[in-house]
Amino acid sequence: MFETPENDSISPALRALLELFATDLADVKFPDVDTAVLGESAAHVREKAEAVARAQAALDAARQALNESQESLLQKGQRALAYAKVFAEDDAELVAKLEAIHLPRPVRKAGQTQAEPVSAAPGNDDNAPRRRGRPPKLRPVANLFTDGSNGPDGAQDDAPASLQS
C-alpha cells in the first residue's frame, strides 16, 4: 500500500510506522488517526515533494538560462570594450574612462575551446602567466671549466709543482 521510493520525502521512521499501520495495525482506529488518515497524509506529502522537485528543476533551468545570458552579455561587452578602445585612441578622456572599466573573463565550460586574446608579443616574460605552486629547487651548477683540483682538502690537485707551495 505504501511505496518506498529511494528519494522519498518521508523519513524511514515514519515509513516504518505507516507500514505497521498498513499491516499489523490495519484494523486499529484511534481518534483522528488510522491507516486511511495516515495514508492520505503520506500521499499529500509526496505530492508536495513532487511539486518541490518540479519547481527545483524549473529553478535550475532558469538559473542555467540566466547564466548563459550573462555569459553572452559579458562576451559582447568585452568585444564592445575592445572596439571602443581602438575607436578612442585619439581621445585621451574617453580612453581614461574605458581603461577604468574592468570586465571579468568569461567562464569556460568543459569541452569548450575558446582562444584567449594575446595582449603582448608571445615569448615575453612580462606577459607570461604566473606559474602556480612551489618554485623549483635550485640545484648547484657544476663549473665545466675547472682545472681538476678539488680545493683545500687536497684530495686531487693536478696543479704543477712550481705553483704548489
Q: Is this model's pTM higher than 0.75 or not?
A: no
Q: In order along the chain (165 residues), what is the average pLDDT of each group of 10 residues?
A: 63 93 90 91 95 96 96 94 93 93 78 50 62 77 62 53 52
- The DSSP annotation for 117-154 comes to PP-S-TT-TTTSPPPPSSPPPP-PPPPTT--S---TT-
Q: Domain map of the chain by residue range?
A: 12-99
Q: How far is CA 79 from the centre of its chain?
A: 25
Q: Are 84 and 90 in contact (CB under 8 A)?
A: no
Cell of 86: 581602438
Angle at 17 between CA 26 and CA 30, to 5 degrees: 50
